[in-house]
Structure 1
Amino acid sequence: MGMLSEFRSFAIKGNVIDLAVGVIIGGAFGKIVDSLVHDVIMPLVGKLVGGLDFSNYYLPLNGQSAELTLAEAKKAGAVLAYGSFATILLNFVILAFVIFQMVRAINKARRNPAPEKTEPAPPPEDTLLLREIRDALRKQ
C-alpha cells in the first residue's frame, strides 16, 4: 500500500472528519465566549472595580506615565498589562467550564443509554403457516 493511498484511507476515516468539525465549531464557540467576556462581563467588572475599561489596566515598567492607553503605553515601552491578562484568564475559565459541562453531559449519556422499547419481531411467515397446519391437524 503506497503512502498516498494510506493517507487517503486515514483522511477519509470518520475520526478525522469529526476532529475537523470539532476544531471549526470550537473556534467559532471561542469567539462567542471571547465576545461575552470582552463585551459583557469585563465592562461590568470594570465598572465595579473603578469605572474604567478593565483591559486598559497596566503598570508601566520603564517609568512612563500611567495615563496613556494600553496601546500607547506599549508603543512607548514595556508594560505589565494585568487587565488584559485578567480578561483572557476569565475567557479561558468560562470556555473551560462550558467544555467541561459538555463533556460531562456526553459521558453521562454514554453511561446511561436510554433503554429502547422494542416490540418483539413478528414470527416469520413460514412459522405462521406451520402453526396453522398444526392447528388444522389437531382439529381433525
Structure 2
Amino acid sequence: MLSEFKEFIAKGNVMDLAVGVIIGGAFATITTSLTEDVIMPVVGAIFGGVDFSSKFILLGSVPGGVAADDYAALKEAGVAMIGYGAFITAVINFLILAFIIFLLVRWVNRVMRRHEDEAPAPAGPSEVDLLTEIRDELRKK
C-alpha cells in the first residue's frame, strides 16, 4: 500500500495540483492585500474618506457594552446585520483574481499555440501527394 501511495504522489498531475494550490493560496493573499490595502482605501476616499469594508446595515438590537458603529465588535457579538462593505470588498477581490487568472490562461494558451505551430509536420505523404496518387490510380482505370 505504501508503494502505491508513493506512485500516486509521484504522478505529475498530483504534483502539479499541489504546486497550483500552494501558489494559488499565496496569490490569493496578495490579491486580498491589494484589494483591502490599496483599492478599497481609494474607493473609500472617493466616497468620503470612510473605511468601506466596515459598512453595514444594522438589523437587530445592539447589546450593552458594544459600540453601535464598530462592525467587528457587532459581528463578534452576533448582532444581525448586513455587511455590504465586506461583501463588496470580497466581490472586488474575486474580480481581480478572476481577471488575473484569465490573463494567465490566455498567456498559456498563446504559448501552447506557438508550440503547436512550431511542431514538425507529421511524417507521411502530404495532401498533394495523396491527391496525385488518387489521380494516377483513376487514370489507370
TM range (shorter): 0.7 to 0.9
CA distance in structure 2 between the partners assigned to 1:105 and 1:76 by the alignment: 45
Q: Deviations over 1:71-97 (max 9, x none)?
A: 122226111000000001100000011
User: Once the 2 structures are TM-superposed, how far is the Cα of residue 31 of structure 1 from its aligned partner?
Assistant: 0.5
Question: 1: CA distance between counterparts of 2:19 and 2:89?
Answer: 27
Map of 2:48 onto structure 1 = 50
Give 1:67 deviation, angstroms. Answer: 4.9
Counterparts of 2:90 and 2:12, CA distance in 1: 33
Per the TM alignment, residue 5 of structure 1 is displaced from its structure 2 partner at its CA by: 2.8
8 A contact 1:59–1:66 mirrored in 2: no
- Report deviation, 1:9: 1.3
Distance (whole Å) between structure 2 residues aligned to residue 8 and residue 71 of structure 1:
46
Measure the CA separation in 2 of the matches of 1:68 and 1:25: 37
TM-score w.r.t. structure 1 length?
0.73
Task: Give the alignment of 1:1-140 within 5 angstroms.
Answer: 3-64=1-62, 67-74=68-75, 75=77, 77-113=79-115, 115=118
Q: CA deviation at 1:15?
A: 1.3
Does the CA contact (< 8 Å) of 1:60 and 1:80 recur in 2? yes
SS at match of 2:20: helix
Listed one character per residue, the Cα deviations across residues 79-117 of structure 1 (whole Å, up to 9, x for unaligned) are: 10000000011000000110111011101111122738x
Q: Tell me the TM-score normalized by structure 2.
A: 0.73
The answer to whether the 8 A contact 1:37-1:90 is kept is yes
Deviation at 1:14, TM superposition (A): 1.4
Unaligned runs of 5+ in 2: 120-141
2:82, 2:13 → 1: CA distance?
42
CA distance in 2, matches of 1:93, 1:66: 33
Asked whether the equivalents of residues 67 and 73 of structure 2 are also in contact (C-alpha less than 8 Å), the reply is no
RMSD: 2.0
